[in-house]
Every structure is written in C-alpha cells, then in structure tokens.
Structure 1
C-alpha cells in the first residue's frame, strides 16, 4: 500500500509541517512572554493581548514581541 499523497508532493508536506511548527513555537514564546508580563498589566489589557496573539496569526505574536513588551509598565 502506497502511503504518499498522489496530489501533494512530499516536499510540500514537509515544508508546511515546518512552517506550522515554527508558527506554533512563535505563538508559544509570545504567550509565555505575555504570561510573565501579565502581573504588570491590567486584566483587560492582558486579555486583549492574549486574544490578539491567538486570533491574529503571526501579526499578533509579532506585535506583542515588538510593541507590547516594551509598552508594558515596569514595576
């Protein structure tokens, strides 16, 4: 029995798998960073950032890592 997909070459499967793994790692890094910064943020602001990171692919995590961390008030 042939297990390869006749419609999609194996290289595409590998590339998209790598892209998704990198994306998930990027989102996890952003959420961990957000959770460490969350005590310094208001509840609503932390919730808004978490929703942005989860709901807006790539741009939400990128926005948190570039803008959100620097804008969070220091204690």
Structure 2
C-alpha cells in the first residue's frame, strides 16, 4: 500500500498559519484593550495615533504600544493621582 494523506486532516502549514493568526489577533486585542484603558492618560490625538499604528502595522504596532506606548502614557500621570 502506498502512503496516502487523509484529506480530512489539515496540513501542517495550515495548522502553523492558523496558530500564527490566532496569536496575532490575541496580541492585537490585548494591545487595544490596554490602549483603551490608558486612553484617559493620553491626549485624543495620541490615542488616535496609537490606535491607528496598532491596527495598521501588523505585529510591530501592538508590540510598540505594549513595550513603549504604555510607558510613555504612564509618564504623564501626576504623582497624586491613582492609577
């Protein structure tokens, strides 16, 4: 008997791309939720720019917000205010 592939089972690359897509969407959602929670500490222009960068620049945009943007938004908080 020859080797035959089961047509019902997905190919390895289908599983890999699905995993990458799910991870990207999860990263995007986490970044947007974090941005929404930090929006009151940013000006409306800053929040809009960060939202556009997060949505329009795949992977790098959400990572930039999570690694850089949140920190810069926290720097504008006054010492007497609660987070």
TM-score by length of 1: 0.86
Residue 74 of structure 1, CA deviation = 1.6
Aligned mates of 1:26, 1:74 — CA distance in 2: 25
| Among candidates 72, 77, 82, match of residue 74 of structure 1 | 77
Match in the other structure for 1:58: 59
2:3 is matched with: none
Q: Which runs of 5+ in 2 are unaligned?
A: 1-5, 79-83
Q: CA RMSD in A?
A: 1.5
1:29 matched to 2:33? The reply is: no
* In structure 2, C-alpha distance between the alignment counterparts of 1:39 and 1:18, rounded to whole Å: 33
TM-superposed deviation, 1:3:
5.0
Structure having the higher helix fraction is 1
Q: Distance between the aligned counterparts of 2:20 and 2:68, measured in 1?
A: 24
Stretches (4+) displaced over 6 A: none
Larger Rg: 2
